[in-house]
Amino acid sequence: MTIKEVWDNLGGKEGIERLERTPAGVLIHLKKEDPVTMESGDGLEAVQDGKTLELLLSKEKKKDAEELFALFEAKEKLTVKSALMKIMDVLAGSLVPLMPMLMAAAMFKTLASVLGPDMLKVLGPQSDLYTLFTFVGDAGFYFFPVAVGFTSAQVLGVTPILGMFLGAILIHPTFIDLAAKGQMFSVYGIPAKPLNYSATILPVILSVAVMKYAEQFMKKIVPEALKDVFVPFLTVALVLPLSLCVLAPAGSVIGEGLCNALIYLGSRGGLITVLTIAVLGMLWEFIIMAGMHWLFISSIYMVLASAGQEAIITPMCAAAAFATGGMALGLAFLEKDAKSRSSDISCFIAQAIGGVTEPALYGVGMKYKWPFLGLMAGAFFGSLYAGLFGVIGYNFIPSASFLCFLNYVGGTTMNLIHSIVSAVIGFAVSAGATYMIGKRRKHESI
């Protein structure tokens, strides 16, 4: 079977989510979990596991894998919308695989905050266990460029370990020391201002995006017998000046701009900050549905890494999440059909316990449309309360369940209490508003 036949058999871009290179061949992420029938032979073997299909290629066949990437990456008409969606896809693909690490790191930081000298005082500041929890929690954020280098390379079609290597270069102690001392540096004679890229996201993603083309170029010009050694070496050598002199600093400026804007809005206080939190909370679930939330989430992690707290996006997350559950439960009280009522309650449980809002958003909100009014009302008033009482996030666990309250642990006890109250307000107002709007509409399905 030829690579073109493989492409056609999988349905082309309609059937393929993304591709990534592996030492044995190509890992294909499918859009559906349907079984794929594919004949093995001629240096090609297919192994499917759910929505992933790995093509195991012989050494002679591996060069043909580039044809598959070329078909997948064939240029389409570029529009502002398609470009924006591509950026969101890269951010999502780079961050989603890191969630287990971030969840674990956030939990260790939470334990240090709860048991440490700031709250329960079970562990002293000099305690080995407190020190352990602190540096383990910080490690998940400090080494972000290494982890993001790996995942972004998978998304962009670069050899993953090279993306990881590039991330490691950006946070090497020598480079960070140069940044701390304010010393100038040059790469092949090109001036480069050393910066501390630890806990950053955009510098390595931009660098890996360019590395993709550098690696493809090197694969074309390096003889087959020398590829294993010289393609990785020459790829990194070519990318170094672009990364250290241009791309990483540019990514740092963009990231710092987003961070500084959020920090400024959070520290300004008054009506501007409160309304920003309330309006953002009201729109948050729609931002999630549009896939735009990854831009905000990446900003949260950058702010937490630089300032240790975040006071604009995180404060409204609990209210917005539980307003979604409230919308589902409010509709459940209106349903006359037992099956529909059970489905709505399941959507609420999926949010409150499972931390997933999509069932409610699509199964309730998109189904009838008008329940979104209840969601928006609950999220607005719950977020407004969080803004008025100055709720601050000290961690960020990307979950819409009760675990989201751990985001507010690290400051005062009242900070945690106010976050819970904001979620209760969001839930109650959303459920009540959805119920009352539904009663008035007397929707035919209810």
Write down the pLDDT at residue 260.
75
pLDDT in tens, 405-418: 989 988 888 999 99
Write down the pLDDT at residue 71.
77
pLDDT confidence bin for 436, thresholds 50/70/90: very high
Write down the pLDDT at residue 440.
83
Q: How far is CA 443 from CA 336, 375, 437, 438, 446, in A?
A: 11, 17, 10, 7, 5
Instruction: Answer whether residue 192 shows pLDDT above 90.
Output: yes
DSSP 76-140: ----HHHHHHHHHHHHHHHHGGGHHHHHHHHHHHHHHHHHSTTTT-SS-TT-HHHHHHHHHHHHH
pLDDT, average across residues 193-204? 88
Write down the pLDDT at residue 445.
45
Q: Which of 105-114, 179-188, 200-209 has the lowest mean pLDDT?
A: 105-114
pLDDT confidence bin for 330, thresholds 50/70/90: very high
Q: Which amino acid does the sequence have at 278?
A: A
Q: Which residues sit opposite 185 in a β-bridge?
A: 192
pLDDT in tens, 90-145: 877 888 788 788 778 877 877 887 788 867 788 888 999 999 998 998 888 789 89
pLDDT in tens, 237-262: 999 999 999 999 998 888 777 777 77
Residue 444, C-beta contacts closer than 8 angstroms, at least 6 positions apart? none
Q: With contact defined as beta carbons under 8 Å apart, do 207 and 200 qualify? A: no
Write down the pLDDT at residue 376.
95
pTM: 0.67
Highest mean pLDDT among 44-58, 67-81, 270-284: 270-284
Write down the pLDDT at residue 248.
93
pLDDT in tens, 140-160: 878 989 999 999 998 888 999
Instruction: Answer whether residue 446 shows pLDDT above 60.
Output: no
Q: Which residues sit opposite 52 in a β-bridge?
A: 29, 49
pLDDT confidence bin for 274, thresholds 50/70/90: very high
Is residue 29 left, alpha or beta, with left meaning phi > 0 and alpha meaning psi from -120 to 50? beta
Structure tokens at 345: 């309650």
Q: Where are the domains of the chain?
A: 3-71, 84-255, 269-441
Write down the pLDDT at residue 77.
63
What CATH topology corresponds to 3-71? Gyrase A; domain 2 (3.30.1360)
pLDDT, average across residues 220-229? 90
Write down the pLDDT at residue 75.
57
Q: Are strands 16-22 and 52-57 parallel, antiparallel or unpaired?
A: unpaired
Residue 69, C-beta contacts closer than 8 angstroms, at least 6 positions apart? 19, 26, 157
